[in-house]
Structure 1
Amino acid sequence: MEQTPGEEIGIRIYTASPQNEPKATKISTGSPQNDEPRAPKPLCNLTKAPKEPGTLLTFEMLLPSISRNGVCTPVTALMIHVLLGLCSVSCFLFHFTDSFKGPDDKIYYGFVTTKGLAVFNPGLTVDVPKGERYKIGFTDFVHAMMSVMVFMAIALSDHRVTDCLFPGHVKEMDEVMESFPLMVGVICSGLFLVFPTSRHGIGCMAN
């Protein structure tokens, strides 16, 4: 096929996982005009990290030492149960925390109650807000339960957990985990939209 002047036919090959800067290898024929390689556009924008406490990170850090690289014993199973329980409680309780900025520009955290915000340091001289925003509500329980479900869906996706807690049911667990995380993600996403929250608890920046 004839190539008209100024027309460029080329193939750009980009590395799948660039380390520092995206490198491009260009194979082209035709005019040398505009031959400078251009950086590929990112597939998604992940510059904003989720505003959640580091419960999942803590779980992933402790799991290798507890699971002993897949060597499951009764003690290992007990420790995994304890770790899952503590992390679930952490996910649940962190959704009942909120914060406010005092006149000294410092951030103060506390638990939301039926009477308002109960700050962690009881001898605080700054006036604590008493608005309805800092009182516990139904939305807090919804977000807390959904947070626990999301954590359990991620935790049970790890074979080190399922192989130890459900021995002899590896095939069944693989079938369940093919759809369970997706179901949890869809349900929780819908509930988070229906029940939005304005909490700025531990792990979040207060306005």
Structure 2
Amino acid sequence: MNKHPVAAVLFDLDGTLLDSAPDLGFALNQVCRENGLPEIPAEVFTPVASHGSRGLLGLTQLDEDALLALKPRFLDIYRSNLALHSKLFDGIEMLLSSLRRNQIKIGIVTNKPEFLTHPLIAQFEALQSISVVVCGDTLEEAKPSPKPLYYAAEQLAVDPKDCVYIGDAERDIVAGRNAGMVTVLAEYGYISSTDQPQQWLADYTIAHPNALMELLALPK
């Protein structure tokens, strides 16, 4: 990271800034209860919480048509219960405050759709001042395309090569690498036992948000 000045840090949302798995799991299990399906335990749904409605509903092992039929109800339940139990990961508030004090710009690039992202962010004071938020449907392409990251950098008026992108999924690292950004894998996020994060080739891996402050040499 010492090769270029870091002008901006871009974050994924679920599994990177927010521990949103409990509320996603609530919506999933409410759908299961309504349809006579076995409930999914937290240790099973948490590692796939970054994979959206398709990944979560896929845990029911229903066929594709059945999954598509359940998706609207899942989204409706989740939209009504966005922040019952979701919380910022430990250390995120301190990290964001340090970035702001050091005049490093902040953005969010998520594959979560706008109708869920903006109401969710509004529930957390530490996130409300982040003005650049690129969602899964902001552009025609979402991650792993680098286009959302390029767009965020453009909105922040910074060069992509001077940006750090941090996320917890393979698509995050692929998008960041293809955008020419420094990539950081949030190992504390939602990574399943079947994932192979060592093959994603992130520039750095951190086990806690505080470690990003250390990488950037930011005071606590």
The higher radius of gyration belongs to 1
TM-score per shorter chain, which class? under 0.3
More contact order relative to length (CA 8 Å, sep ≥ 6): 2
**TM-score normalized by the length of structure 1:** 0.27
**TM-score normalized by the length of structure 2:** 0.26
